[in-house]
Amino acid sequence: MERRLDHLEQELSKLRAELSDVGGRLRQLEAADDLGVTPAVDEPELDLGLGGLLGARPKTDEPGATESVVPLVGRTLLVFGGAYLLRAVTELGALPDPVGVALGLAYALTWIAAGDRAMRKGAATSGSFHCASSLLIVFPLLWEAATRFSLVGALGAAVGLAVVGMLGIGLGARHGLRTPVWMATLGATMVAFALVRALRQPVPMAAAVAVVCLAAIWVSYDRHWRVLPWVASCSMDLGLALVVAGSLTGRLEGTPLQSATLLLVAFAGTLGIFGVRTLLQKHTIDALEAVQALLALILGFGGAVLVSRHAGWGTWLLGSAGAALGLAAYAVAFAPTVRFERRRNFFFYTTLGFVLLASGSLLILPRTAAAIAFAVLAIASAWWSGLFARVTLGVHSALYVLAALATSGLVATVWDALVRPQPPTWAPVTPSQAAVLVAGIICLVIPTARTSRSWGRLALVPRAGLLLATALAAAGSFVWVLAPLVAGGGETFDAGALASLRTAVLATTAVVLALLSRRDRLEEAAWLAYPLLALAGLKVLLEDLPAGRPLTLFVSLAFLGVAIMAAAHWVRRPASRPTATSRSR
């Protein structure tokens, strides 16, 4: 019992000491509160509410944890009341219209400055209300200045919209607030489109929308906002579409030069933002940027070409700009930060470079020269594909060969030689067509990238497509050269002989593909030999039998039968390929 009493006395003594310590701390806190000094806290405050989940609580200029919205609403109504007072004084004639509008603009912009000052003090909600009040006053005022009072034209209204929109976006970007950026972007866009309807001048308004929306996109990227870039991109694209439609239909005012310049500048500005993001900030292209680049390419560059052609201009300047941008896109793709680290970026920029370079070449070069240029680009792409182990460049090589075949007229020649019942003439193959065919063969000889983690088995498809296009081009060329000797022309034309010649050439081409499939670098030829033989067999049923004679049918069936047996003997059997380990793209 005595031990228990001693232990109890010890515990009471400890409790008395702790209570004394707590009392001393309370007296210190009360003394500090009387002196207006905020005591230091050793441990951070534990916030289990929404603020604790999202981060630190915002600083405010009001007492308490958050600002009270009710007084801010009342203050906003007073701000609007002041604006209407200026309007009433102007309508009564006490102030001239220009002076009243100028005072109204100055009054509205004052509240933007007040919002910035409030945000610097930590009052985010108060500053947002100030900014909202200013924008809700200034945007309608710009509308009336251009329409009701006719104090400014379309260009002046566009400049005002761009300046005010940039002020709102800059304010939101400076303090990391979305509300001013959203209001500035949507407000400027809506008023600009309304002014297009009222003033019938889309070019200045679309320019203002492009400036504001590009700024909003850049700020959204910097702040990692996900929704606003989509809205801004769609708004800018709508403005560009209005410019194209107005120029082509003639229902809206604006010169073709102004429209084409705006469209091309908006396109270049979009690409500039993407370039800074990928090169300097090492960002990977996402879905928004891919979609926006496609729309900007169609509406910006494509729209400028349509406007120029509709106006009867030469497109040499636009073609030069497109080719230059295409070369720049290829250069960006081969920058170290893109070529070695960003797979999607490499594919994006090389694809963009191909489209722009091919389009620009068609705009500035005659068809024959363009075909030669495409042939040279096909050889260069094939060589770079093997040098840098990039399957993507192998795809470009095949596409350049197809473009060269189409531009040189060889596709039409092959169609007439292999399909058309009776070509009108047997004109000789041109030197440019022969050069394109030789370029296709050279691209097949050059070792290109054929394995890739990204492409998988699809890495062999570009090579197969190039092989098929070159084989058909060669077959059509042979038929075109031999047809006048075999089938004749005019009144002496022999349809059966032409059908037999076509079958013999197609069957021989299938045998050549079977032989080529035995080479490691051309194993894709095995995919084409049997389909080509099947096509030749179908052709015998549809053309040779109706148009042929016993002798021509004997030749057709003999060539087809021998080709089937030879292909079955020589075609390469499919084998399992090792897993690709290269870094091809």
Q: Do residues 179 and 118 share a domain? A: yes
Residue 58: pLDDT over 70: no
- Which sign, positive or negative, has the C-alpha torsion 302, 307, 311, 313? negative
Task: Tally the domains of the chain.
Answer: 2
**Does residue 382 sit within a domain?**
no
Residue 108 CA to residue 156 CA, distance in Å, equals 18
Q: Which residues are CB-neighbours of 419 under 8 A, at least 6 positions away?
A: none
Is the pLDDT at 59 greater than 50? The verdict is: no
Residue 148 resides in a domain? yes
* 225, 99: one domain: yes
Q: Quick one: 280 exposed, middle or buried, by C-beta within 10 A (0-12, 13-18, 19+)?
A: exposed
Q: Look at 27-31, 141-145, 245-249 and tell me which has the smallest mean pLDDT.
A: 27-31
Which tens digits make up the pLDDT trace of 494-504? 889 999 999 99
- Report the range of poorest mean pLDDT among 175-184, 360-369, 455-464: 455-464
- How much is the pLDDT for 580? 40
Asked if the model's pLDDT at residue 8 lies above 70, the reply is no
When pLDDT is averaged across residues 91-105 and rounded to a whole number, the result is 86
Any idea what DSSP says for residue 458? G
Last residue of a domain, one of 225, 250, 275: 250
Kindly state whether residue 535 falls inside one of the protein's structural domains: no
Residues 89 and 193 grouped into a single domain? yes
Residues 286 and 348 in one domain: yes
pLDDT averaged over every residue in the chain? 84
Structure tokens at 511: 């045998």
DSSP tag of 63: S
Separation of alpha carbons 124 and 167, rounded Å? 17
SS3 (DSSP) at 327: helix
In the structure encoding, which two tokens stand for residue 118, read together?
């409030």
Q: Are residues 215 and 302 in the same domain?
A: no
**Mean pLDDT within 326-333:** 91
Query: Do 78 and 216 have their domain in common?
Result: yes
Number of C-beta neighbours around residue 380 at 10 A: 16
**What are the tokens at 231?**
């809205």
Mean pLDDT of 258-280: 89
Evaluate whether residue 526 is within a structural domain.
Answer: no
Residues 132, 268: one domain? no
Task: Kindly tell me if the per-residue pLDDT of 2 is higher than 90.
Answer: no
Is 231 a member of any domain? Answer: yes
Q: Give the mean model confidence (pLDDT) for residues 239-257.
A: 90
CA distance 585 to 576: 21
pTM of the model: 0.77
Dist CA 142 CA 158 (whole Å):
9
Summarised one tens digit per residue, pLDDT across range 511-550 is 999 999 888 888 888 989 999 999 999 999 999 999 889 9
Q: Do residues 319 and 362 make contact, with C-beta atoms less than 8 angstroms apart?
A: yes
Q: Are residues 236 and 308 in the same domain?
A: no
How far apart, in whole angstroms, are the C-alpha atoms of residue 297 and residue 354?
12
Residues 163 and 103 in one domain: yes
Q: Is the pLDDT of residue 285 over 50?
A: yes
Say whether pLDDT at 83 is over 50: yes
pLDDT band at 449 (very low <50, low <70, confident <90, very high): confident
CA distance 348 to 344: 6
Question: Do residues 267 and 321 share a domain?
Answer: yes
Which of 336, 364, 392 delimits the end of a domain? 364
90: containing domain: 71-250
**22 in a domain, yes or no?**
no
Residue 198 lies in a domain: yes
Q: How far is 71 from 123, CA to CA, in rounded Å?
A: 13
Q: 253 pLDDT band (50/70/90 cuts)?
A: confident
Give me the mean pLDDT over the 14-34 stretch: 57
Residue 257 in tokens:
């030069």
Residue 466 falls inside a structural domain: no
Q: Tell me how crowded residue 282 is: count the other CB atoms within 10 A of its CB.
A: 12
Q: What is the rounded CA–CA span in Å between residue 119 and residue 136?
A: 19
Q: Is the pLDDT of residue 217 over 90?
A: yes
Which of 334, 364, 394 delimits the end of a domain?
Answer: 364
25-29 contact pairs (CB < 8 A, 24+): none
Mean pLDDT of the region 342-361:
90
pLDDT at 450 over 90: no
Q: Let me know whether 280 and 236 are in one domain.
A: no
Specify the pLDDT at position 522.
85
Query: Is there a single domain that holds both residue 141 and residue 265?
Result: no
Asked whether 444 and 522 are in contact (CB, 8 A), the reply is: yes
Which value, in Å, is the radius of gyration of the alpha carbons in the chain?
Answer: 37
